Structure 1
Amino acid sequence: MNLERLYARLTLDEAKRHKPYRCSAGKLTIGVGRNLDDRGLTDSEIQLLLENDVVLATADARRLFYQFDDLDDVRQEVLVNMAFNLGYERLAGFKKLRAMIRARNFPGAAREMLDSKWAREDVGPRAERLAQAMRTGVAP
């Protein structure tokens, strides 16, 4: 079997979609005809998505916090976790947090994290854990 020809034919027949859509049978579908309703994702596919998303979130954190690479691993992880959850645009709105990180004022950075709609309404205990890690430099 010529897999390259088969892949090309399936891509032509099914189309390649980068965002979920409903197929003609009403099933949630993505990629090249992947039926998410019935088939879902395998653990390895989920892991691949996570790894790709962490690469993107790390790049966002690096763009927003120019001293990112000078921070310890735990604080880098906190910022990547926030970038993963919030996305670039929303994390960019944390101007006081960014100033506190620039000043290496980690207790102040933790306060700014908690003094946000994100902490109060969006993620609850996650914000507490991340703020504690930012404050202390100790992984939760």
Structure 2
Amino acid sequence: MNQKSEIIPLLREEEGMRYTPYLDSLGYPTTGIGFKLGPQGAPLSHYTFTLSDKTIDAWLSDNVDAVRSSMQQDDEIAAALTHCNQPRKDILTSMAYQMGVNGLDDFHHMLSAVVAEDWEEAASQMLDSTWAKQTPERAQRHADVMRSGKWDPTYDF
């Protein structure tokens, strides 16, 4: 069964959507759907604009395309993706979107477990990370989908 990607609704739900700049949980000026604008600690007064839905959609689509392209350029991540159904691919894409492709690439044990299709171990490795300590609810939801390979009951797409 070939499922369609749910990465856009997934990122909208996990990242939230803001039309004006704000400081994210790590102090980076951010807007839209997790669009990092500048360096950590930069004052919001440097970012005085409001985004439209159309701009957010275009920016998100472009950013997701760039993340996916970068993921394919990384041999370890690209190998893992070949073992994933669509929900698991979207989970890896969400992780790369949130922490960067280099951040995802640091999950060597998780990626090895994905290649081995050991979904329980992959989920365990996701939860045994700094990322999971920083965003525990998101990490738990992502690990649940990685374990099951299904959106339900974790997400309602």
Normalised to the residue count of structure 1, the TM-score between the two structures is 0.70
Offset at 1:85? 0.4
Matched, 1:124 2:133: no
Aligned partner of residue 66 in structure 1, secondary structure: helix
RMSD value over aligned CA atoms?
A: 2.1
Match of 1:54 in 2: 64
Any unmatched runs of 5+ in structure 2? 1-36, 39-44
Question: Sequence identity, in percent?
Answer: 26
Any unmatched runs of 5+ in structure 1? 1-18, 21-26, 29-35
- Which protein, 1 or 2, shows the higher relative CO under an 8 Å CA cutoff with sep ≥ 6? 2
The structure where helix makes up a greater share of residues is 1
The whole-number CA distance in structure 2 between the counterparts of 1:55 and 1:105 is 27
The whole-number CA distance in structure 1 between the counterparts of 2:118 and 2:83 is 14
Matched, 1:137 2:137: no
Offset at 1:67? 4.2
Matched, 1:42 2:52: yes
Match of 1:23 in 2: none
Offset at 1:69? 3.8
Offset at 1:135? 0.1
Normalised to the residue count of structure 2, the TM-score between the two structures is 0.63
Please identify the structure whose Cα radius of gyration is greater.
1
Aligned residues: 109
The whole-number CA distance in structure 2 between the counterparts of 1:117 and 1:105 is 21
Matched, 1:73 2:74: no
